[in-house]
Structure 1
Amino acid sequence: MPTTSLTTRLDQELKTELEQIARFDKRSVSFMTNQAIRNLVEERRASRDLIRTGLALMENNIEGVSSDAVHDWLLSDEDAPFPKV
């Protein structure tokens, strides 16, 4: 995949911490920065897609899982199944 440069400003403390993490992981700061940005982009894309899906369900009056059921699920055991509609 082709690459390009990105210039940004970081707090000195954050840069120092990033350099320490990169050394510990035996990776370059560039690699670690690329991974962090990739993770952020993927997380934001997934969140945006979930919001769009939720809005589409609401616009089409499709029944969903109640907020109480989701709340209870979040507080349940790690392997608890997601609540059904």
Structure 2
Amino acid sequence: MGSYEDAIIDLTKLLDIEPNRKFALRYRAEAYDLMERHKEAIIDLTKLLDIEPNNKFALKYLGETYHLTKEAIIDLAKLLGIEPSDDIDESL
């Protein structure tokens, strides 16, 4: 798992210099996701979509990543103006 962490460190350094570098956001999001750091992956994927709204990879991966975490589902519901209930099915 160390290689994912190393990749995150290197990609973060690049993003410190070039914050809108699409490939760095994509691959850091993937590394975060593989390490089950879903919230951080969601942040990078959302930024990638801000830069390129029709990025098919980011749209697909963002949906898959949101699917993995109940908290993210609640955040998405709030973003969409839907009041989430306490009985959200985590298997969604």
TM-score with structure 2 setting the length? 0.25
Between Structure 1 and Structure 2, which shows a larger proportion of helix residues? 2
Larger Rg: 1
